[in-house]
Structure 1
């Protein structure tokens, strides 16, 4: 991270010294920060300057973000419906809005871009109030609550999946499908062709559950492996993400079964591991679906069941609809069902190859460049209709 962190601190450099500054707003998780980082790199290649506005939680993970400055703003998520919880959230967002208005007056961005989550609400509202062109990127197959709140106020809406806003004509006129920007490691991994499992050879399976892991994977996958016949267990080469509290029992199960397995709470080279896998078992966050598509790998997807917007279910359907993934609701994802599916895939490796090809057909490797083109167009004073016309 270059430059200084700013919340309520002293004024930074004069805007007169910065040309085409773009303020990116992202927070919360890697699902927001990864696409913002990919866009930042695309904008810097265009000679533009990037600042990042986020909350204190995400700031801890933004150390390598290629921004001139990091601005930490007050923000909070709606955590309950009680008067106290709503008042706390309202106060944090109001404080964030005041700080964002001050920030925009100081750095004078050409465009403000938000990547979803409540930390993006104050900077985007400040842009609308200040007359600064603004853009939200919606990574998921359905629009999240924060982006729904902002959609009517921004200049443009970029979408990770096509047709997202078609049901609302007022939003559809400013929506542009760009795809989901990919981190460089995913683009590099996409160059690896799919190498299907050979009869009787190793079957490489990658299991993960999002940036924080998912307990259901630790509960279900080892028990499913135990139900496989000994010959298939001997072929398995497993790489599995597990939470710290689940590590010992997952490792112990695989050791007892004699299964080759690497189990860890986090893998910092996940796209490369995805490229080496014959089959991926995972949640269906927007970033995961985008990387599975770009790299072209067959998958068993288990959408997060309790999400208010059911965004992961919508994301998973995009691959299921082209028969690139098997989607199981969490209530269906039990050891018996998973063992059955693993046995089926191992018996028919050509089905995995077909799924890999169909997944790759959905990949958008240049999403960051497409989004960068839209940001550049807005910075130059262009309208969304003109941009869409130029691309038609």
Structure 2
């Protein structure tokens, strides 16, 4: 890396909900500023540990564990040992060249990056993808220079300052350009996020069996997440009912899946909601019940309020109710088209432009 090249560092990850926005932002930065270097900071146990190197990205991986949902001994170990060591590792990496700005996208690696930036007097921009800011970002907000918000509703959960800027979430260009098309034989897309969703894996196939028994003709694309036997178990249910189904653990070609789908049943992570809006995908969202601050519900509510999605309560939903809901929508082209149009109106299409405007405040004069 040339020492004369300006540098932006993006810290965070863990799941696709943090990694994908980071990559989308990095792509937007490079498109805007061809000579801008983008480095990443992540965790050895996160999705970024495999995904970023596969993309040829420069990533500094930290040995850190999560602190949420664990015992006090692990929390103590992380806060008293792992976090300080992670910060020192970042500071050592920055001895040769410091970034112009540190962007924290969430996840525990983001905390170490922000602390290192504050110690180095590097400007900090936080990027909150969800409709309700996470606990860590609410704490770090008081120390940051700016916070970019994926949803306007997040602003009401922050102190009233001029730090927060509603930018929307950057959706990958290859997804944003997908054209939604209705087909004579509808296709149901099922996604549980980068880690899969056991509830969807168990409930959706059984609901689809009921639909097939009613004589409805449709196909299914089902992403079950990584796990021994998941693909085989779910595929067996579809096959037994004579349902055409493509069951995968994970897909690296989401544009192709969105292009085939008529309706999506999914968890409501921030990027899933925004990608659905970008494509204009009608959705049934089943928010993760134990998501922090119930943020997945509020993510989904953005499209539900627009008339583009329906929210199903996992605690009240079973295969019978889901089959009833799907039977009224999946093969109803007029309803799907109406939901499609309303989804498109909810998409913030200039998110990349708005986020680059925020970063421009800290990177100075950079050649395009």
Both proteins in one fold, TM over 0.5: yes
Q: Shift in Å at residue 81 of structure 1?
A: 5.6
Cα deviation per residue 1:185-229 (whole Å; 9 max; x = unaligned)? 21232xx1x3335xxx31211111111211111211121122226
The answer to whether the Cα contact below 8 Å between 2:189 and 2:261 also exists between their aligned partners in 1 is yes
Q: Which structure is larger by alpha-carbon Rg, 1 or 2?
A: 1
Distance 2:306 2:55 in 1: 35
Q: Does 1:28 align with 2:7?
A: no
1:54 is aligned to 42
Distance 2:153 2:249 in 1: 36
Give the alignment of 1:10-159 within 5 angstroms: 17-45=3-31, 46=33, 47-57=35-45, 58-65=48-55, 67=57, 69-80=58-69, 82-90=71-79, 91-159=81-149
1:286 is aligned to 270
Seen in structure 2, the aligned counterparts of structure 1 residues 347 and 280 have a Cα distance that, compared at 3 Å, is closer
Moved more, 327-336 or 369-378: 369-378
Cα deviation per residue 1:277-306 (whole Å; 9 max; x = unaligned)? 110011111110010000001000001111
The answer to whether the Cα contact below 8 Å between 1:196 and 1:350 also exists between their aligned partners in 2 is no
Secondary structure of the structure 2 residue equivalent to 1:227: helix
Task: Give the RMSD, CA atoms, in angstroms.
Answer: 2.0
Secondary structure of the structure 2 residue equivalent to 1:239: strand
How many residues are aligned here? 358
Secondary structure of the structure 1 residue equivalent to 2:275: helix
Distance 1:83 1:182 in 2: 37
Secondary structure of the structure 2 residue equivalent to 1:267: coil
Seen in structure 2, the aligned counterparts of structure 1 residues 260 and 98 have a Cα distance that, compared at 3 Å, is same
2:156 is aligned to 166
2:337 is aligned to 353
Seen in structure 2, the aligned counterparts of structure 1 residues 340 and 122 have a Cα distance that, compared at 3 Å, is same
2:202 is aligned to 219
Moved more, 161-170 or 219-228: 161-170
Moved more, 331-340 or 221-230: 221-230
Q: Does 1:377 align with 2:365?
A: no
The answer to whether the Cα contact below 8 Å between 2:138 and 2:158 also exists between their aligned partners in 1 is no
Q: Shift in Å at residue 102 of structure 1?
A: 3.0
User: Which residue of 245, 251, 274 maps to 2:235?
Assistant: 251
Distance 1:346 1:59 in 2: 38
Secondary structure of the structure 1 residue equivalent to 2:268: coil
TM-score by length of 2: 0.91
The answer to whether the Cα contact below 8 Å between 1:79 and 1:85 also exists between their aligned partners in 2 is no
Distance 1:110 1:155 in 2: 13
Distance 2:345 2:311 in 1: 18
Q: Shift in Å at residue 308 of structure 1?
A: 2.5
Q: Does 1:195 align with 2:187?
A: no
Distance 2:215 2:296 in 1: 31
Distance 1:106 1:63 in 2: 22
Q: Shift in Å at residue 55 of structure 1?
A: 1.6
